[in-house]
Structure 1
Amino acid sequence: MQAQQTIAYIGIGGNLGDARGTVEEAIRRLAALPQSHLLRTSSLYRTAPVDSSGDDYINAVAQLATSLAPLDLLHALQRIELEHGRERPYRNAPRTLDLDVLLYGDRIIGGDELTVPHPRMAQRAFVLAPLLEIDPAIAIPGVGAAQACLSGITDQPISKL
Structure 2
Amino acid sequence: MSRAVLSVGSNLGDRLALLQSAVDGLGSAVRAVSGVYETEAWGGVEQGPFLNAVLIVEDPAADERGWLRRAHELEQAAERVRSQRWGPRTLDVDVISCHDSVGTEVRSDDDELTLPHPRAHLRAFVLVPWLSVDPEARLTVDGRPRPVADLLDELEPAERAGVSSTDLVLQL
Q: Give the TM-score, by structure 2 length.
A: 0.84
Deviation of 1:7 after TM superposition, in Å, equals: 1.3
Corresponding residue to 1:39 among 20, 26, 31: 31
Q: Which runs of 5+ in 2 are unaligned?
A: 100-104, 167-172
Deviation of 1:54 after TM superposition, in Å, equals: 0.8
What one-letter code is carried by the residue in structure 2 that aligns with 1:131?
W
Q: Which residue of 2 aligns with 1:69?
A: 63
In the TM superposition, structure 1's runs of 4+ consecutive aligned residues that sit over 3 Å from their partners are: none
- Count of residues in correspondence between the two structures: 153
Structure 2 distance, partners of 1:62, 1:70, is 15
Q: Which runs of 5+ in 1 are unaligned?
A: none
Q: Which residue of 1 aligns with 2:169?
A: none
**SS at structure 2 position matched to 1:102:** strand
Structure 2 distance, partners of 1:153, 1:24, is 30
Give per-residue Cα distances to partners, 1:108-131, cap 9 Å, x unaligned.
211110111112101111100011
Q: Which residue of 1 aligns with 2:23?
A: 27
Structure 1 distance, partners of 2:62, 2:129, is 23
Structure 2 distance, partners of 1:107, 1:159, is 30
The answer to whether the aligner puts 1:48 opposite 2:49 as a matched pair is no
**SS at structure 2 position matched to 1:118:** coil
Across the aligned residues of Structure 1 and Structure 2, the Cα RMSD in angstroms comes to 1.2
Structure 2 distance, partners of 1:124, 1:146, is 11
The answer to whether the 8 Å contact 2:64/2:106 transfers is no
Structure 2 distance, partners of 1:130, 1:153, is 17
Q: Give the TM-score, by structure 1 length.
A: 0.90
Alignment of 1:2-21 (within 5 A): 5-21=1-17
Alignment of 1:81-160 (within 5 A): 81-105=75-99, 106-141=105-140, 142-143=143-144, 144-151=146-153, 152-156=155-159, 157-160=162-165
